[in-house]
Amino acid sequence: MGFVTTVRHGLTLCPHGGVLLSWVSAILLLAVPLTLPAATYQIDSSHSSANFTVRHMMVSNVSGAFAKLSGTVEYDPNNLAQSRIEAVIDATTVNTRNEKRDEHLRSADFFDTANNPTITFRSKRVEKAGDGALRVVGDLTIRGVTKEVILDVDGPTAEIQAQGAYRMGASATTRINRKDFGVNWNRALDAGGVVVSEEVRISIEVELVRKPQPAATD
């Protein structure tokens, strides 16, 4: 009779049909992309950072970072419209590796941390922006001034299980004009130009953590 014995309702049967169907089922399962369910993650402050870069005296780039970044991410890969991001940066932790400059950045000339100790971001829309990329539109608040910004996100990565939790990561970048947020201080240079650029480049690295759900009990 050969390998194939009969055809019924579009199914090909064979003497080892159970094995063949098992292989076909396995192949079909591998062909279906595995997506994460909707879940809530916390930003792991110990493995996340918020960084910024400005031009100094028109000739060099100077970078800084904030030591404390926290927040919550509600991520639904199957319905991005239901995803939400809220992040809080402790502006008092600004660090440019120069204490005198950091004191100036905390002053009313820049972040005015005595009156505005935090910088916040709250998403309004999360959209797909290609393979492995997202576009996040949201409100950024600095010195009590809120403006809409767009974050270009690389990720999130695939989720892994490590150290008793599920983890994934993402990177985000954007550019802002600091004067839009009332950060106006500057000084003119004798040769022309200014000490600090108005444009600020922002980069964010986050590690997101969710705890495994406890097993249901009867």
pLDDT at 130: 93
Distance CA 49, CA 70 (A): 9
pLDDT at 32: 39
pLDDT at 37: 75
pTM metric for this prediction: 0.80
- Tell me: do 62 and 75 sit in the same domain: yes
- Tell me: do 13 and 76 sit in the same domain: no
3-state secondary structure of 198: coil
pLDDT at 5: 42
Is the Cβ–Cβ distance between 122 and 86 less than 8 Å?
yes
Q: What are phi and psi of 144, to 5 degrees?
A: 80, 0
Q: What are phi and psi of 159, to 5 degrees?
A: -80, 140
- Tell me: do 116 and 81 sit in the same domain: yes
pLDDT at 60: 92
- Side chain identity, residue 165: A
pLDDT at 28: 43
- Tell me: do 96 and 112 sit in the same domain: yes
- Tell me: do 98 and 187 sit in the same domain: yes
Residue 215 lies in a domain: no
- Segment 83-109, tens digit of pLDDT: 999 999 999 999 999 999 999 999 999
Residue 14 lies in a domain: yes
Positions of the chain with pLDDT lower than 70, given as ranges: 1-36, 212-218
User: What is the tally of structural domains in the chain?
Assistant: 2
